[in-house]
Structures are given as structure tokens and as C-alpha cells.
Amino acid sequence: MKLLVTGGAGYIGSVVTRMLLDAGHQVVVLDDLRTGYPEAVAPEATFVQASIHDAAEVLTPEAGFDGVVHLAALIAAGESMVKPELYWANNTVGSLALLDAARIAGVPRFVFSSTAAVYGNPTSLPIAETAHTLPTNTYGATKLAVDFALASMATAHGLAAVSLRYFNVAGAYLRPGIALGERHEPETHLIPIALQVAAGRREKLQLFGDDYPTLDGTCVRDYIHIEDLARAHLLALETARPGEHRVFNLGNGNGFTNLQVVEAVREVTGHPVPTETAPRRSGDPAELVASSDRARTELGWTPAKPGLPEIVSDAWTFYQARLQDGQA
Ligand SMILES: NC(=O)c1ccc[n+]([C@@H]2O[C@H](COP(=O)([O-])OP(=O)(O)OC[C@H]3O[C@@H](n4cnc5c(N)ncnc54)[C@H](O)[C@@H]3O)[C@@H](O)[C@H]2O)c1
């Protein structure tokens, strides 16, 4: 297939691009580099530095694209609460521009990076795709709006649309000569922050709340290895059905408390990770754990690397390589 990957210079998009190329697909990466890194784009891909708002320039009827994998977005839930206009403009308005370009160009498939944040505070666990969607932050709302747009495009125009709702993505893609991992600036995700503390690049790790009704009082999240997550995109492209909007949660189905993650980081790195308890952050649910039954049965997807030690260990290998290169 000839595929347009938006956000292909980012953490997840760079790995999805790599795996699509390895599976024999032709990939054009569209990324404006607002948070991405050009060196993360596989050299075999064609790279276009542009915004999704201008996607129509690349996604022309003549270009003959078979599908779009849309990962480009702003991703910080906290920032989305103080700068909502940025998130609506980029994540929703930008996605609508991309969708419209895809419609005019007659692109048959569209796979979208949605998020567990669309569910807000779950009323039952593990969270299935049938759960109510009631985001507690603007980021989740901007993504849910695109899910709705995809559903109507599928119904009206026969688009084969898939929304993949990721839970917490972590780990790295490591092959001889290739290391693709998480490099968000500023970093807001727990595992890379804990690794920065382990490496002495940060003094301590803040744990937001220690009085949640969980095993040790800290929040529970579901971590999925980047390779497992990226593989689901290939399956989604293969199994997308014209006129349908299919939604899949992607997580391991296993939750770990923040303290369990910190303990795993201590064990993998062999370094201390000092922590400090901070007040709860508003909008943080106590527990987010996915039911991935639908992805398993309908996509034939099974996580190959579900263990926390392996996820942390790959992230650590990636981070150490960056430290050695003087990039971190
Ligand atoms: N990282 C996670 O744990 C996680 C969890 C759930 C969902 N997601 C979703 O996965 C996707 C990728 O996340 P990531 O962690 O790789 O983030 P990232 O910041 O590393 O990558 C996002 C990429 O999109 C690009 N981009 C942003 N706005 C753009 C625009 N208007 N035009 C062109 N390019 C643009 C950025 O330059 C960057 O390269 C996002 O859609 C995010 O919402 C991520």
C-alpha cells in the first residue's frame, strides 16, 4: 500500500513508519516537526515537512494513496487545559482538514491515533470500547471529536475508518543501528521521567496523589510496548472495512501503580529513584486499564512484550544511547 503517515517524526509515528516499511509498504511522512525529530524518520520514507492543515497539497487525487495513518497531534493533557485553543485547532481542525483532503483524493482507508483519555473516569474496569466516553480533559475531547467525524465519514462516504485508542505507550524500538524511543519536550510521561531521575538528570520524581483507592494509593495505568502498539496499525490497515468506523482499545489489560513502575525502574537501572508526593492532578482517574478483547479477537492482535521489566528495559537502553550521544 502507499500510505501517508502524519506525525511520522514523532515517537509512535517513527516506529509505525519503520514497521510499515519493513512490511513492504511505501510511506510518505507528513510532519511539521513541532515536536518531532527529522532523524527519527526512516530514510526509506519520503519526508514532507508540512502541517496536516495543508495535507491537500500532498494528498492529491493523482498521488494514489491507499491509506492514511494519522498520528500527528499535540498530546499533553495538562497543557490542553490551559491552552485549549491550540488543541482544538491542531488536533480537531487539523484532522478535519486532513480528512477532507483524504475524501477529495478518494483515499479508502484511515487509521487514527485516539486515546484512553476519551473515556474520562471509567465506571467499570477493564475499559471496553462500549464504555461511555466523557473526557475529563480538552486533549481527550479533541480526539473524541475526530472519532465522531470518522464515524460520519464512514457512513456518508464509505471510508474504512479505524480509531485505535491507546493506553500508556512506552518502551523503545531497538534494532542494530536503529533506536526509536520517547523524546517529548517537556516530558510528561512517567517512565521516561523516572529514567531521567535514575540517570541523575532530575532530582526526584513527583507522584501526584498517594491516597487513591488502589493497592498503594498511587494511580494505576496500563502500559503497552511501542512495538506491540505499532503492529496493531498494520493489522488495522489490513482489516479496515469500507463504510465502517471500527474502534479498538490497545493496552495490556494489566494495570501497574505508579509506585510499581518506579520500583521496576529502580530494578532495571540499578539506580535510586527518589520520589516526592504531590497533590492529585485534577482530572486524573484512579485507574485506567484496557480491555483489549476486541483487538485480540477482531484484529488477531496479541501483545508480544506485555511485561513491565521489558518495557522499562527497552526505554532505558534507548535513553542511555541518547545520554552517550550527548542528546539527553
Ligand atoms: N504517547 C502516548 O502514550 C499516547 C497515548 C495515547 C495516544 N497517543 C497519540 O499518539 C499520537 C502520537 O503520539 P506521540 O507520543 O508519538 O507524540 P509525539 O509528540 O512524539 O509525535 C507527534 C508528532 O506529530 C507532529 N505534529 C503535531 N502537530 C502536527 C501538525 N499540525 N502537522 C504535522 N505534524 C504535526 C509532531 O511534530 C510530532 O512529530 C498522538 O496522536 C497522540 O495523541 C499517544
Specify whether the CB–CB gap between 147 and 121 falls below 8 A: no
In angstroms, the CA 6 to CA 305 distance is 26
User: Which atom of ligand 1 is the closest one to the Cα of 70?
Assistant: 41
Query: pLDDT band for position 326 (50/70/90)?
Result: confident
Distances (CA, A) of 66 to 28, 69, 243, 278: 11, 10, 15, 48
Residues 6+ apart with CB under 8 A from 103: 153, 157, 159
Task: Tell me if 187 is assigned to some domain.
Answer: yes
Task: Tell me if 299 is assigned to some domain.
Answer: no
Alpha carbon of 238 to ligand 1 centroid (Å): 22
Alpha carbon of 328 to ligand 1 centroid (Å): 20
Among 18, 30, 34, 70, which is best to mutate for testing ligand 1, by the most ligand atoms less than 8 A from CB?
A: 34
Helix (H, G, I), strand (E, B) or coil at 317: helix
pTM: 0.97
Q: Is 24 in the same domain as 165?
A: yes
Q: Is 142 in the same domain as 260?
A: no
Query: pLDDT band for position 298 (50/70/90)?
Result: very high
- For the cut 90, the answer to whether the pLDDT of residue 281 exceeds it is no
Q: Is 218 in the same domain as 278?
A: yes
Number of domains the chain contains = 2
Supply φ then ψ for residue 114, to 5 degrees. -95, -165
- For the cut 80, the answer to whether the pLDDT of residue 283 exceeds it is no
Query: pLDDT band for position 205 (50/70/90)?
Result: very high
pLDDT tens digits, residue range 65-87? 999 999 999 999 989 999 999 99
Task: Tell me if 297 is assigned to some domain.
Answer: no
Three cell numbers written together for 269: 537501572
Least confident piece of the model among 4-8, 34-38, 120-124, 167-171: 120-124
Three cell numbers written together for 290: 484496557
Among 11, 95, 250, which is best to mutate for testing ligand 1, by the most ligand atoms less than 8 A from CB?
A: 11
User: Which atom of ligand 1 is the closest one to the Cα of 33?
Assistant: 37
Supply φ then ψ for residue 89, to 5 degrees. -65, -45
Q: Is 25 in the same domain as 126?
A: yes
Q: Is 117 in the same domain as 158?
A: yes
Query: Tell me, what CATH number does 214's domain have?
Result: 3.90.25.10
Q: Is 189 in the same domain as 91?
A: no
pLDDT tens digits, residue range 183-200? 988 888 999 999 999 999
The full DSSP string for 224-266 is EEHHHHHHHHHHHHHH--TT-EEEEEES-S-EEEHHHHHHHHH
Q: Is 241 in the same domain as 166?
A: yes
Residues with CB under 6 A from ligand 1: 6-7, 9-13, 30-36, 51-52, 71-73, 75, 90, 94, 113, 115, 166, 168-169, 184
Query: Tell me, what CATH number does 122's domain have?
Result: 3.40.50.720
Query: pLDDT band for position 312 (50/70/90)?
Result: very high
Alpha carbon of 15 to ligand 1 centroid (Å): 12
Query: Domain range spanning residue 185?
Result: 179-222+253-290+305-324
Q: Is 31 in the same domain as 153?
A: yes
Q: Is 59 in the same domain as 13?
A: yes
Share of residues in the chain with pLDDT > 70 (%)? 100
Q: Is 81 in the same domain as 47?
A: yes
Task: Tell me if 151 is assigned to some domain.
Answer: yes
Q: Is 90 in the same domain as 102?
A: yes
Least confident piece of the model among 109-118, 173-182, 317-326: 317-326
Specify whether the CB–CB gap between 45 and 25 falls below 8 A: no
Q: Which contacts of 29-32 are long-range, i.e. CB under 8 A and separated by 24 or more positions?
A: 29/4, 29/5, 30/4, 30/5, 30/6, 30/55, 30/58, 30/72, 31/6, 31/7, 31/72, 32/72
Q: Is 209 in the same domain as 135?
A: no
Task: Tell me if 300 is assigned to some domain.
Answer: no
Mean predicted confidence (pLDDT) in 46-67: 98
Residues 6+ apart with CB under 8 A from 111: 67, 68, 69, 70, 161, 162, 164, 233, 236, 237, 240
Task: Tell me if 78 is assigned to some domain.
Answer: yes
Task: Tell me if 15 is assigned to some domain.
Answer: yes
